[in-house]
Amino acid sequence: MTAPKPPRQSAGAISTILLGLRRAPRQIRRSSRDVVENAVTQLFDAAVQPHGVAASGEYRIEELAQLAGTTTRNIRVYRDRGLLHPPLRVGRIALFNDTHLTRLRLITSLLDRGYNIAHVHEMLSAWEQGKGVGDLLGLESAIAGSWAAEKPERMSLSDARELVDDDAGFTRMVDLGIIKVEDADPGQDDEAAIIVRPKLIETFNELRQYGVAPEKLIGLHEQIAPLVDQISAILVQAGIEEVLHRINPGAALPPDTEIAELLTTLVRFRTQAVSAVSSTLSFSIESTIESAVGQILGDLIDKEAEQQSD
């Protein structure tokens, strides 16, 4: 698999990060790996935000164009043709959001594939109507999300406890590393909490509305997490094997442009791997649910038939 060359802006950001590593080789020892770990995080953030603008959720048209790798003129054309929804108007300022960004990246990807604007409009309309066109066209590869699916959220300890709304569950989440508790900041009475997995907790709270007990949800997470880690290890190893032959671990760091290409390869591999696993898991869950429901209905029908024959 040959990775496409990343934009120059991406290589420039990566060069800045690598320069710090090259200047401080003595700081990188086995007893202190934080320099490398911080650099790796920054490298992948730079790889998935190649245009030098961090996603914030609210953008002016110039910022939106930078994030999507297009021009303000193109954005206005897409709006006039009905491909993009109108922005939010705040006085004389037009503000776009992440929905516009996602849609714009998809439009750009489709146009790059050779479709014209009329075709793109038709495809987007079909996709919005739930016809599965997004999956057919490789939607995940068209939308470059952030490297981490979840970003930790910091809040007061009292707010974190209120978010979980279950003392025993909160303690178990801390033990599992889903939540981290920190000492209070100077001048503050309340301790701080880092919600490491905010989307997971959000899912727990949604399922609780259906009557599922917190301890059961956390127990399911404890069972599933090791299995997911095994799947991740297999997939990551496959991705590493794709790029390892281009890196000599005992030699100096490769040129910045080559490292940028390798990071882009892994980012794209991550996107496709998540899409493949998600599709496989969805198919498996749907098949298992259908089988389980069929078994339950069959047992009920058999029981009813037995009662009628008595």
Each residue's pLDDT tens digit, 86-127: 888 877 788 888 778 878 888 887 787 777 888 788 777 766
180 belongs to a structural domain: yes
The domain that holds 80 is classified in CATH as 1.10.1660.10
pLDDT at residue 39 is higher than 60? yes
Partners of 34 in the β-ladder: none
The answer to whether residue 232 sits within a structural domain is no
What is the number of structural domains in the chain? 3
Taking 80 as the threshold, does the pLDDT of residue 208 lie above it? yes
* Residue 195 pLDDT: 95
Q: What is the side-by-side order of every strand in the sheet holding 179-182?
A: 153-156, 192-195, 179-182
Rounded-to-integer distance, Cα 19 and Cα 50, Å: 18
Q: What percent of the chain is predicted at pLDDT more than 70? A: 71
Q: What is the pLDDT of residue 45?
A: 66
> Which has more pLDDT, 75 or 250?
75
User: What confidence category does residue 197 fall into, taking pLDDT thresholds of 50, 70 and 90?
Assistant: very high
Per-residue pLDDT at 129: 63
| 89 CB burial (10 A radius; 0-12, 13-18, 19+) | exposed
For residue 162, pLDDT over 90 is answered with yes
Tokens 């991740």 correspond to what residue?
232
pLDDT at 35: 65
pLDDT, greater one: 55 or 129? 129
Judge whether 200 lies within some domain. yes
68 touches 25 (CB < 8 A): no
Same structural domain, 122 and 191? no
Q: Select the highest-mean-pLDDT range: 14-18, 89-93, 282-286, 299-303.
A: 282-286
In a domain, 19, yes or no: no
User: Can you give the residue range of the structural domain that contains 187?
Assistant: 147-224
Are 272 and 297 contained in the same domain? Answer: yes
In order of 37, 235, 291, 292, the CA distances from 304 in angstroms are 62, 48, 20, 18
Is 181 contained in some domain? Answer: yes
User: CA–CA separation, 162 vs 157, rounded Å?
Assistant: 9
Q: What is the mean pLDDT of the chain?
A: 78
- Asked if residue 112 and residue 81 are part of one domain, the reply reads yes
Residue type, 207: L
Q: How many CB atoms are located within 10 Å of the residue 187 CB? A: 5
Shared domain for 98 and 163, answered yes or no, is no
Let me know whether 155 and 207 are in one domain: yes
C-alpha of 81 from chain center: 30
User: Can you tell me the distance from the alpha carbon of 93 to that of 201, in angstroms, rounded to the nearest whole number?
Assistant: 35
pLDDT band at 141 (very low <50, low <70, confident <90, very high): very low
Higher pLDDT, 13 or 105: 105
pLDDT of residue 8: 44
Residue 137 has pLDDT above 60, yes or no: no
Across residues 287-296, what is the average pLDDT? Answer: 88
- Spatial contact of 137 and 107, defined as CB atoms under 8 Å apart: no
Q: Output the DSSP codes for 17-41.
A: HHHHHHH-GGG-BTTB-HHHHHHHH
Which sign does the torsion angle of CA 118, 119, 121, 122 carry? positive
My answer on whether 64 and 133 are in the same domain is: yes
Q: Which residue has the higher pLDDT, 201 or 266?
A: 201
What is the mean pLDDT of the segment spanning 244-273?
A: 73
Give the tokens for residue 97.
Answer: 């959001």
Say yes or no: 105 and 159 in one domain: no
Output Rg (C-alpha) for the chain, integer angstroms.
Answer: 24
CA distance 191 to 40: 29
Q: Is residue 266 part of a domain?
A: yes
How would residue 76 be classed by pLDDT, with cut points 50, 70 and 90? very high
Q: What pLDDT, on the 0 to 100 scale, is given for residue 170?
A: 96
Tell me how far apart the alpha carbons of residues 17 and 37 are, in angstroms, rounded to a whole number. Answer: 12
The verdict on 183 and 112 lying in the same domain is: no
- Per the model's pLDDT, the better-predicted residue between 4 and 24 turns out to be 24
Average pLDDT over residues 183-206: 83
- Does residue 80 sit within a domain? yes
User: Is there a domain that residue 162 lies in?
Assistant: yes
Residues 6+ apart with CB under 8 A from 308: none
Q: Do 131 and 155 fall within a single domain?
A: no
The model's confidence at residue 130, banded by pLDDT at 50, 70 and 90, is: low
Record the pTM: 0.57
Q: Which residue has the tokens 């000492």?
A: 183
Domain finish residue from 169, 189, 224: 224
Q: According to the model, what pLDDT value does residue 90 have?
A: 75
